[in-house]
């Protein structure tokens, strides 16, 4: 068994932890703002931002899986090539998230800052999962 194969289950569990921690952190932040500051608009923005962060992570994960599959298919090639569609989809992902944030800001009048802070739920989830993995004893 190689080192990569041995690390895969732990890697998958970290990704799974990030998948469920992102909306949890967003929901807790939204609930805290709603209960302590009585700002429903900010709570909605935090929840929307965290949802978009979760969606972004899912799309990013799918894109990276595609990139890995393409690179493994070209393992023997001297100069591996990445499909331009892969780059286009990465650009489209960020463009779509920006468009969604813009439309929600303009039409629903949700504060832009709250959605941006909500998008940070992914970073908080990644840090929490990383700290957990560092502190967790190896099996």
pLDDT tens digits for range 75-84: 887 777 878 8
- Taking the C-alpha atoms of residue 79 and residue 118, their distance in angstroms, rounded to an integer, is 40
Instruction: Report domain extents, the chain.
Output: 10-72+81-135
The average confidence (pLDDT) of the chain is 89
pLDDT reading at 97 higher than 70 = yes
Residue with token string 């921690």 = 21
Q: Cβ distance 105 to 40 under 8 Å?
A: no
Task: Give the integer Cα–Cα distance in Å for 18 and 132.
Answer: 11
pTM beyond cutoff 0.95: no
- Beta-carbon contacts of residue 53 (< 8 Å; ≥ 6 apart): 22, 26, 118, 119, 120, 121, 122
2 falls in which pLDDT band (50, 70, 90)?
A: very low
In the structure encoding, which two tokens stand for residue 8, read together?
């895969």
């Amino acid at each position: 068994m190689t080192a990569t194969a041995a690390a895969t289950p732990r890697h998958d569990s970290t990704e799974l932890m990030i998948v469920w921690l992102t909306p949890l952190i967003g929901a807790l932040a939204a609930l805290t703002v709603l209960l302590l500051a009585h700002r429903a608009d900010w709570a909605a923005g935090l929840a929307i931002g965290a949802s978009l962060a979760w969606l972004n992570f899912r799309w990013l994960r799918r894109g990276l899986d595609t990139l890995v599959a393409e690179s493994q298919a070209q393992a023997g090639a001297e100069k591996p090539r990445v499909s331009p569609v892969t780059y286009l989809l990465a650009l489209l992902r960020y463009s779509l998230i920006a468009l969604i944030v813009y439309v929600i800001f303009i039409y629903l009048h949700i504060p832009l800052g709250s959605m941006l802070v909500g998008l940070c739920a992914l970073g908080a989830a990644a840090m929490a999962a990383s700290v957990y993995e560092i502190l967790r004893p190896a099996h």
